[in-house]
Structure 1
């Protein structure tokens, strides 16, 4: 069992019967110096700073007591993923319905639009047309490329490489 799996196992009692879920765990600096354990947690209603601090204190104390990394010193950081962190679970997509997303597909295309719905196997993204210059439009017409995807479009989860919420200050 690697460090990440061991941390997940220790975290289970603090996840409030899966109300809180693990988004990511990173353990860095294993060779020699101070280790840094970063845990990103979230919930369907969001997670508070107080909840993160409480879990950090309890988990950190437990890890200290059991000499989790032997004699190696470590820093534990528990927080929520920031808005710049990619969406990875359908639960995260549900919380972001109505927001603007940039979705990178496994074939490299990037679709931007409003997240309309989340289904079991896919999301519905209301894709906005990409703004192109007249020269780009003319070139595409000459090359007879396929028509761009526009409007409500189902995007299967297995075709999503990465999704980020687009922040707008308009």
Structure 2
């Protein structure tokens, strides 16, 4: 996708997404045969419901029909939330992952799996699970020391709402 097209799409879509209190995470344009595919990834503090994606898809489709941002050819529009395996790249991603288990690859090559306990402007406070009955340990990771991070899927994790009940 050309930078100009990317900038035009972002300029067109950002206000529509923001109007629904969502964050525009990613715009991806690709080809599927003769058709173009526009993938719009949105997220929020509370996640994104399917109905919200459907409503936003209709709004975006109408706005795209009024412009030539996708050119004259046919295209498919996909509006969705990020997948569970999405990398944590922005400060807000870490904030949304509070209380979750994450796999971090540090810039020195070390890898660790730890629960995100707190997030501030400089980095993360983590709880590294104990091994073989040992107690968990606290650890600090500065954002500058994190090469990659992503949330680990926990099938037996208690939801915040369950814990509050």
Structure 2 length as normaliser, TM-score?
A: 0.79
Q: State the aligned residue count.
A: 151
C-alpha contact 1:3 1:27 (8 A) present in aligned 2: no
Q: 8 Å contact 2:95–2:119 — kept in the other structure?
A: yes
Q: If the length of structure 1 is used for normalisation, what is the TM-score?
A: 0.77
Per the TM alignment, residue 85 of structure 1 is displaced from its structure 2 partner at its CA by 1.2
> Structure 1: which 5+ runs fail to align?
132-149
Structure 1 runs (4+) greater than 3 angstroms displaced: 128-131
1:84 match: 85
C-alpha RMSD over aligned residues: 2.3
Q: How far off its partner does 1:17 sit?
A: 5.2
Higher RCO (CA 8 Å, separation ≥ 6 residues):
1
Task: Report deviation, 1:103.
Answer: 0.8
SS of alignment partner, residue 47 of structure 1:
coil
Counterparts of residues 90-129 of structure 1 (less than 5 Å)? 90-128=91-129
Q: Deviations over 1:117-161 (max 9, x none)?
A: 001121112223678xxxxxxxxxxxxxxxxxx822221222222
| Deviation for aligned residue 1:109 | 1.9
Match of 1:16 in 2: 18
| Alpha-carbon distance between aligned partners in 2 of 1:125 and 1:26, rounded to the nearest angstrom | 33
Instruction: Write the distance in 1 (CA, Å) between the matches of 2:147 and 2:104.
Output: 8
Whose radius of gyration is greater, 1 or 2?
A: 1
- 1:41 is aligned to 42
Residue pair 1:19, 1:44 contacting (<8 A) in 2 also: no
CA, structure 1 residues 114+28, in 2 after alignment: closer, same or farther (shift >3 Å)? Answer: same
| Cα contact 1:127–1:153 (8 A) shared by 2 | yes
User: In structure 2, what is the equivalent of residue 137 of structure 1?
Assistant: none
Matched, 1:154 2:144: no
What does residue 154 of structure 2 align with? 168
In 2, are the aligned partners of 1:124 and 1:152 still within 8 Å (CA)?
yes
Q: Which runs of 5+ in 2 are unaligned?
A: 157-165
Following the alignment from structure 2 to structure 1, what is the Cα–Cα distance between the partners of residues 86 and 95? 15
**Mean Cα deviation higher: 18-27 or 106-115:** 18-27
Q: Secondary structure at the match of 2:147?
A: strand
